[in-house]
């Protein structure tokens, strides 16, 4: 007998994604302004661009990951710590690949500077994702 596993609704996914990104930007935009010595218009715009990209990736990535959870007979809220770490790390790796060109173009960074910037942000966000 196959048991049906309830999935998050589209509305719940949107609420979660928006609240995650807004809270993250509240922390990261001021930090970016200080670090890069850039104004709110520059770092704020970068934050919005990266946030919108992250929300699109988030919706797709989490939908796919939840499908794997459902096939394993569990809901996403029942993930063990290791499953949460794998989920967060995979998501951040996906974001890294898609964020590097944006950092390089928007802030005029070299590839190595963009990687360093993204690794600092990613390190923070992996912990933030786990806690959130």
Read off the pLDDT of residues 27-46 as tens digits, 9 standing for 90 and up: 999 999 999 999 999 999 99
CA gap 5, 104 in Å, rounded: 42
DSSP string, 58-109: HHHHHHHHHHHHHHTT--GGG--HHHHHHHHHHHHHHHHHHHHHHHHHHH--
Residue 2 is given by DSSP the state P
Determine the average pLDDT of the residues in 70-78. 81
* pLDDT of residue 1 exceeding 60: no
pTM for the model stands at 0.71
Distance CA 37, CA 111 (A): 19
57 vs 31, 77, 126, CA distance in Å? 23, 19, 15
């Amino acid at each position: 007998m196959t048991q049906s596993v309830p999935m998050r609704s589209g509305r719940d996914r949107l609420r979660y994604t928006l609240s995650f990104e807004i809270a993250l930007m509240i922390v990261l935009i001021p930090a970016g302004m200080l670090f890069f010595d850039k104004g709110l218009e520059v770092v704020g715009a970068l934050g919005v661009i990266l946030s919108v990209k992250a929300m699109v990736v988030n919706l797709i990535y989490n939908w796919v990951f939840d499908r794997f959870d459902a096939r394993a007979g569990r809901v996403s809220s029942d993930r063990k710590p290791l499953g949460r770490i794998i989920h967060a790390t995979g998501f951040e790796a996906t974001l890294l690949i898609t964020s590097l060109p944006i950092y390089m173009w928007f802030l005029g960074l070299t590839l190595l500077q963009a990687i360093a910037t993204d690794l600092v942000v990613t390190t923070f966000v992996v912990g933030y994702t786990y806690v959130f």
